[in-house]
């Protein structure tokens, strides 16, 4: 397992000054703004972990108003270490953190066999409309690649992993919101008026160039909105911030520019149609 030290972070993270946005200190009527940081794909998860390390270094390890989540196709999320000279007085020793499996990190696409899935979808046209739509874009209506080596830069397989694990994604988001806000579903004793006025800062981080983050960042945004709606929260009261790493941040690959273009087009359409906040 790779351990990433802050000074070894690749160029997309060099000089990144986002801690003020992530640290939950933004004041709303003299209260601490609750913050949810969501990392999508390898770069997004690494950034979320990096921000969690900064958060722990500045605040200590006690639970507060910020939660960090990550979604990717690899089994083990990265580890980030801040050295002693980078840590303030709250944590005088080096800080090493990761997103915890099950409560902060979801390995999407786990146990998915694309070949067998293709057969099941072709045999049952009513099975999972989201996956059926993806299959329609494949020659011969067949998924031909395995997810064992990740998506290899193909956005369609990032979406395949996402829809395959959609139940786990939704469960993790709901758990994070409930823990973050002590929220309960309607009928569980929570004051609906108090819930509807809660202000949340939602940060979604991803790379435009890869096959996972570029594909699932927009659907993740939709799932965040879905969870908030289900809990009776007013999405319009919250602030959504997207942090995207441009293709110039990474080595050249065959799909780097194409993925970036498609992601930006998707975001533009979603904004025009009112899908994305």
Percentage with pLDDT > 90 across the chain? 42
The pLDDT tens digits of the residues spanning 148-162 come to: 888 888 999 999 999
Beta bridge partners of 203: 37, 241
Burial 234-268 (b: 16+ CB within 10 A, else e): eeeebebeebbbebebbeeeebbeebbeebeebbe
Count Cα atoms within 13 angstroms, Cβ side, for 11.
6
Q: What is the mean pLDDT of the chain?
A: 80
Q: Can you tell me the mean pLDDT for 162-181?
A: 91
The pLDDT tens digits of the residues spanning 84-131 come to: 666 655 556 788 899 999 999 999 999 999 989 999 999 998 888 889
Nearest Cα neighbor of 218 from 152, 265, 151 is 265
pLDDT for the residue numbered 221: 93
What is the three-class DSSP state of 62?
Answer: coil
pLDDT for the residue numbered 90: 53
The pLDDT tens digits of the residues spanning 7-57 come to: 444 333 333 444 444 444 343 333 457 899 999 999 999 999 999 988 888
pLDDT for the residue numbered 37: 96
Note whether 50 and 13 are within 8 A (CB): yes
The pLDDT tens digits of the residues spanning 138-151 come to: 889 999 888 888 88
Instruction: List, in order of start, the domains of the chain with CATH numbers.
Output: 3-107+153-272 (3.40.50), 113-146 (no CATH)
pLDDT for the residue numbered 72: 96
Note whether 65 and 24 are within 8 A (CB): yes
Within the chain, strands assigned E span 3-5, 27-28, 31-32, 34-40, 66-72, 79-82, 95-97, 105-107, 200-207, 239-245
The span from the CA of 224 to the CA of 15, in Å, is 28
Residues belonging to the chain: 277
With a threshold of 0.85, does the pTM exceed it?
no
User: ∠ at Cα 221 (220, 225), nearest 5°?
Assistant: 115
Flag whether pLDDT at 247 surpasses 60: yes
Most confident of 75-79, 180-184, 192-196: 75-79
């Amino acid at each position: 397992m790779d351990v990433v030290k802050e000074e070894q972070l690749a160029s997309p993270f060099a000089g990144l000054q986002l801690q003020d946005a992530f640290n939950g200190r933004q004041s709303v009527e003299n209260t601490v703004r609750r913050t949810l940081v969501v990392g999508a794909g390898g770069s997004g998860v690494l950034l979320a972990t990096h921000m969690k390390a900064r958060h722990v270094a500045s605040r200590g390890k006690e639970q507060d108003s910020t939660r960090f989540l990550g979604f990717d196709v690899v089994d083990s999320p990265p580890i980030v270490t801040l050295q002693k000279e980078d840590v303030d007085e709250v944590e005088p020793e080096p800080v090493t953190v990761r997103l915890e499996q099950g409560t902060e990190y979801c390995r999407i696409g786990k146990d998915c066999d694309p070949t067998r899935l293709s057969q099941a979808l072709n045999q049952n046209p009513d099975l999972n409309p989201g996956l059926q739509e993806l299959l329609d874009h494949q020659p011969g209506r067949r998924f031909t690649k395995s997810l064992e080596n990740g998506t290899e830069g193909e956005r369609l397989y990032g979406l395949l992993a996402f829809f395959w694990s959609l139940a786990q994604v939704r469960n993790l988001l709901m758990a994070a919101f409930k823990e973050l806000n002590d929220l309960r579903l309607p009928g569980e004793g929570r004051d609906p008026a108090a819930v509807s006025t809660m202000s949340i800062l939602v940060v979604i981080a991803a790379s435009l160039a890869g096959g996972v983050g570029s594909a699932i960042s927009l659907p993740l945004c939709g799932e965040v909105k879905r969870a908030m709606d289900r809990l009776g929260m007013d999405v319009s009261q919250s602030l959504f911030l997207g942090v995207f790493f441009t293709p110039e941040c990474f080595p050249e690959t065959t799909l780097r520019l194409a993925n970036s273009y498609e992601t930006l087009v998707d975001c533009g359409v979603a904004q025009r149609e009112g899908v994305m906040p």
